[in-house]
Structure 1
Amino acid sequence: MTTTNQEEIINIINALKNQDGALLPVLHKIQDTFGYVPPDSIPLIANALNLSRADVHGVISFYHYFRDTPAGKHTIHVCRAESCQAMNSTALEQYIKQSLHLDYHQTSSDAQYSLEPVYCLGNCACSPAIMVDHEVYGRVTPERFDEILKAL
């Protein structure tokens, strides 16, 4: 971790540490700032919040939202909820994995794409749904997925 990153992490922790249940806001802010929670930040967080390193690591590893490695330039979330499954999202999921040569929680070797599962995107009427970065797409077919990627 660079000195600049360490200073920024310390500033984030100090700004949020007095909130009730500060761990989640701290982790969210660090991830929003860096795109992931650097492993070197765990001791800093634990010390400032009077938690064990295991406690902090446990929260990071429990919630799928948090990453401990940098994400790709574009993060693709595939909805795995019942509505999307009923509309054949399993086939779409397999197509996406094969197209990108990735499984969930992986980043492509060129650092362009990360693939993540999500339980629901709130777009059930337009299943199957995916989210690319912060944009939600509905009624996604393999062909539409290819179009979405080309537009990036």
Structure 2
Amino acid sequence: MDQERKAIISLLSKFRLGFHEVHVLPDINQKPRAEHTKRFEDMIAPFRLNDGFKDEATVTEMRRDCPWKISDEEINKNRVKSLRQVRLNEILQDSSRDAALVVITLPIGRKGKCPSSLYMAWLETLSQDLRPPVILIRGNQENVLTFYCQ
């Protein structure tokens, strides 16, 4: 944990970015509070396919006509990632109250594996109720920052 903190401080210094404190968050994998999980589930409820209650032909037709709808299978496959977004929002609310700006890397939603409505719910959940402005940035899991030292 201390090594990660030193690496972030070094990176911020190389880019000459001013900062007062650097906190590395250790409890990201804890379960989120029940009320926040319920809020997320309520948010996605209108976009649920609820395919467990329908026959296969109806489900296939609904998936074709409404590809943004979230199936029960997709909910289960993305449960850990969804709960992580809820937990991240809790941490951001607790840790970033006095921040001037919050920068968050967008979660990765695999095409064909994550319906658009679920992905948008993740984005809403990440930034929900945060006081400082939020910038969502996207990367492709490669180093993209280049810096030059003279």
Work out which of the two has the higher radius of gyration on C-alpha atoms and give 1 or 2: 2
Larger relative contact order, structure 1 or 2 (CA cutoff 8 Å, min sep 6): 2
Alignment TM-score, normalising by the size of structure 1: 0.26
Alignment TM-score, normalising by the size of structure 2: 0.26
More strand by share: 1
